Amino acid sequence: MTPLRQRMLEELLPVGYFHIVFSIPHRLVPLIWQNKKLLLSLFFQATAATLMEVASHHKRQGMEIGFLCILHTWGQTLQRHPHIHCVVPGGGLSPDHTRWISSHPRYFVPVKVLSRTFRDKFVEGLRQAHLAGELSFYGKCEPLADAETFAAFLKPLSEQDWVVYSKPPFGGPEHVLQYLARYTHRVAISNHRIVSVDESHVTFQWKDYAHNNAQRTKTLTCEKFLRRFLQHVLPKGLPRIRYYGWLANRRRAKLLPICRALLHHPTPTPKPDEPQGAKCPCCHGTMCIIERLSAAQIRPALHRIEYVLDSS
C-alpha cells in the first residue's frame, strides 16, 4: 500500500460519507477569473464556514465535523465552472469531545440551509473585499469598481438561490478512496477522454448532463483547446485540496484518534501481503497509482504516440 493511500485510509471512519457540491453563480465567474487567488480562497472559506456552522446547529446539540474540500474550476467541455466537492463524514464530535453525534443516514444537513448560508457568507466576503480595495476590475468588469454599481451587482445575487447539491452517500470508506484516487489529482480533463489529435484540432469526449449523461464528442482547434485547458491552472500557492475541522493538519493528530475511540474502530493497518508501490527510476520515491486505464482507454493514446513518432 502506498503512503498516500495509507494516509487516506487512516483518515476514514466507519460511518457513511456524504458528497456535497457547492457552486458559484455564472454571473460571478468573470470577476472570479480576474481575482482568482483572492476569490477562490474566499470560495473555500465560505464553503468550510457554512458546513461547520450548519453542522454545529445539528439537532440543537452541536456537532464538530471534519471534512475535505476539492476545488474544480471546469465543466465537461473545459468551460469555466468553479465548484467545490466536499467529502463529509456522516456525523461529528460533541462540543466536549465525549460523544459521537450521527447525522441522518440519507442526508447530512438540509441543502436549502446550506445554500442560503453559503450565499450570505460569500456575498458578505465580496462586500468586504470591495470595501478594502482588494479586488481588481478589467474589461467588462471595470464599472464594478464603483461602489454603487457593485452594490447593484450584488443585490440580485443576494436574493437568488445558489446551487448546493448533495449527491447520494458514498457506499463506504472504500468508495471514498476510489473517488479520491480518481479526482484529486486531475486537472480539467483525463487522457482517456481525448479521442484524436492532429496538427490543427483536438477531439474529446464529454458527458451531456442535461440529456441523461449522453456521451458526446467536441472538436476544438488546438489553440482554443489549450486556452480552455490553461485557464484552469491555479495561481501559485493556491492549494486545490484543503482539510477542515478535526481533519485540519493542526488538529488531526489529537482529534482523529478520539473519533476512532468513540466509534470503537482502531486505526487500520496495511495488509502484510499487499505489494508495495513501484519505485520511481529518477528519485527512487514510492510511486502512487492515480488512475487505472483499461486497454480500450490506452489504445487511442498509443495511436497518438505513433502519429507523433511518424511525424517526426
pLDDT at 130 over 90: yes
What integer pLDDT is reported at residue 269 of this predicted model? 61
Domains defined for the chain, CATH in brackets = 3-188+238-274 (3.40.1310), 189-231+276-312 (no CATH)
What integer pLDDT is reported at residue 184 of this predicted model? 67
pLDDT at 199 over 60: yes
pTM: 0.81
**Which band of pLDDT confidence, cut at 50, 70 and 90, is reported for residue 3?**
low
CB neighbours (10 Å) of residue 48?
Answer: 23
Residues shown for the chain: 312
In 3D space, the residue among 291, 292, 287 whose CA is nearest the CA of residue 3 turns out to be 287
Pick 235 or 280 by higher pLDDT: 235
Concatenate the DSSP letters of all residues of the chain into one string.
Answer: --HHHHHHHHH--SS-EEEEEEE--GGGHHHHHHTHHHHHHHHHHHHHHHHHHHHHTGGGT--B-EEEEEEEEE-TTS-EEEEEEEEEESEEE-TTSS-EEE--SS-SS-HHHHHHHHHHHHHHHHHHHHHTT-----GGGGGGGSHHHHHHHHHHHHHSPP-EEEEPPPSSHHHHHHHHHHHTT--S--GGGEEEE-SSEEEEEEEEGGGTTEEEEEEEEHHHHHHHHHTTSPPTT--SEEEEETTSHHHHHHHHHHHHHHTT-PPP---TTSPPPPBPTTT-PBP-------HHHHHHHHHHHHHHHHH-
What integer pLDDT is reported at residue 201 of this predicted model? 93
State how far the Cα of 187 lies from the Cα of 25, in Å rounded to an integer: 21
What integer pLDDT is reported at residue 273 of this predicted model? 44
CA angle 95, 97, 98 (to 5 degrees): 115
Q: What is the pLDDT of residues 39-70, one digit of tens each?
A: 999 999 999 999 999 998 866 568 899 998 99
Look up residue 143 and give its three cell numbers.
464599472
Residues 42/125, Cβ–Cβ less than 8 Å: yes
Looking at residue 53, its amino acid is: E
